[in-house]
Amino acid sequence: MRQFFHFLLAGMAFTAIAPPVPAADLKLEARLIWGANDEKETVKHKPADPELSDKLHRMFKWKNYYEITNKTAGIAVSQNCDLKLSDACAIRVKNLGGSRVEVNCTDHGRQIYKGAYALAPSQWLVVGGNDTADTAWFVGLRPLDDKPSDPKKAISKN
């Protein structure tokens, strides 16, 4: 019994002393979305991903959502990543570790928003606001899975 206790404690000590496994980079995608009532035929940009636009449709009044920018990034723990989404709109994302991020949103270099959130897999964090001419802008952030999507599955679904 005493030996077992010693082995147990030794195991615990090893676990405690062993160097921690470095956390994997956080991979995420950032999208700049424009919400408008303009018809698709009149707009140069492609419609936003149906999954995201469906979610936006549930909350917002705009008829159509267009994808302006779509960027992906891999961010190491405690590192920042600047993503320029348009001439004026940029975001700085800091990986706080444990799928937590700090998001800075700037307009022409002026910080308009800063927040810290835990990004859940396949869940969107959207920062948005009104734009001119009864339109709106949205910046969507979502963590990406490491596993590549299976194209066969995608085909079979469709």
Tell the smallest beta-carbon distance from residue 152 to another protein (Å).
25
Token pair for residue 94? 């800091």
Figure out which of the listed residues 133, 150, 156, 157 binds another protein, where binding follows CB under 8 A. Answer: 133
Count CB atoms within 10 A of the CB of residue 47: 13
Determine if 154 is a binding residue for another protein (CB under 8 A): no
Residues 48-107 that bind another protein (CB under 8 A): 55, 58-59, 66, 68-69, 85-89, 96, 100, 105-107
Longest dimension (CA), the chain: 79
The stretch near another protein (CB under 8 A) out of 21-29, 117-125, 147-155 is 117-125
Compute CA distances 115 → 50, 57, 118, 143, 152, whole Å: 26, 24, 10, 16, 38
Instruction: Kindly state the tokens that stand for 139.
Output: 């910046």
| 67 in Cβ contact with 48 (< 8 Å) | yes
- CB-wise, 73 or 143, nearer to another protein? 143
Distance in Å, CB of 60 to another protein, minimum: 9
β-strand partners of 24: none
DSSP label at residue 51: H
List residues binding another protein (CB under 8 A): 5-6, 9-10, 12-17, 32-36, 38, 41-45, 55, 58-59, 66, 68-69, 85-89, 96, 100, 105-108, 110-118, 120, 122-133, 135-137
